[in-house]
Amino acid sequence: MTIRKNLVKSLYDNLSNDQLEIDMINFSWTTTLKYVDNRLMSLQLLKNGMTDAVMFSPDGQNLQAADVLYKKNILAIRGSFRPVTKVNIDMIMKGFKLFEAEHKVEPDKIQVLFEITLNNLRADGDIDEKDFLDRADILCSLGQTVLISNYMKYYKLVEYFSRYTKKRMGIIMGVNNL
C-alpha cells in the first residue's frame, strides 16, 4: 500500500491540485507492473484528494468519465452495496423504467451508474481495500459501471455529471435519503 500511495503522490511532484488535475490513472501491464490493480491506484487518487470521482467498467477497467458520460442521460443509484441486495436491484430496475419513460430521455443514450461514496467505504474507519475490491467486483459481475466519488451531497454529484452532459439526469435514492 505504501508503494501505491507514494507513487500516486509523486505524480504531483510539488504541484497543487489547482495546477494539475488527474482524472484517471491506468498502468499498462508489464512484468514490473503485473501486480498493480488500477482500481486501487484510482482509490489512492480519491483518498489523496487528487480527483473527486473514478469509474470502472463492468470488466473492471478504469474509465475516463468524459468517454462514458459525454452527451448521455445519466441514471445513478447511490449506496454502500455491502452487499448488493434485491432491493438495490429492484430500485434500479424500476427507476430505469421510470427514467426511460421521461420526456426527452433517449433510451439508447442512458448510462447507468452504481455509485459508492468514499465515506461509505470508510464506514468502519479506514478504507479496507479488499472490501472495496469485493464491492466493485460484485457490481461489475452484475454488468454495472461503478463510480466511486467524494461527493457527499447529491447536488455535488449532479454538478459533476453536468460537466459532461446537458441531457437528463436521475438519482435513485431510498426513503431515508429522500
Name, in order, each residue with C-beta under 8 angstroms of 146's C-beta and a sequence gap of 6 or more.
55, 56, 113, 114, 115, 116, 136, 139, 140
What is the overall mean pLDDT for the chain? 87
Q: What is the pLDDT of residue 177?
A: 73
Strand runs (DSSP E) across 79-164, as ranges?
Answer: 110-117, 145-149
27: left (phi over 0), alpha (psi -120 to 50) or beta: beta
Return d(Cα 145, Cα 139) in angstroms, integer: 7
pLDDT at 61: 92
Read off the pLDDT band of 11 (50, 70, 90).
low
Cα torsion at 136, 141, 145, 146 (round to 10°)?
-10
Is the pLDDT score of 160 beyond 60?
yes
Query: Could you tell me the pTM of the whole model?
Result: 0.87
Which has more pLDDT, 9 or 114?
Answer: 114
Share of the chain above pLDDT 90, in %: 62
Confidence of residue 5 (pLDDT cuts 50, 70, 90): low
Q: What is the pLDDT of residues 111-151, one digit of tens each?
A: 999 999 998 898 777 899 899 999 999 999 999 999 999 99
| Average pLDDT rounded to a whole number, residues 51-73 | 95
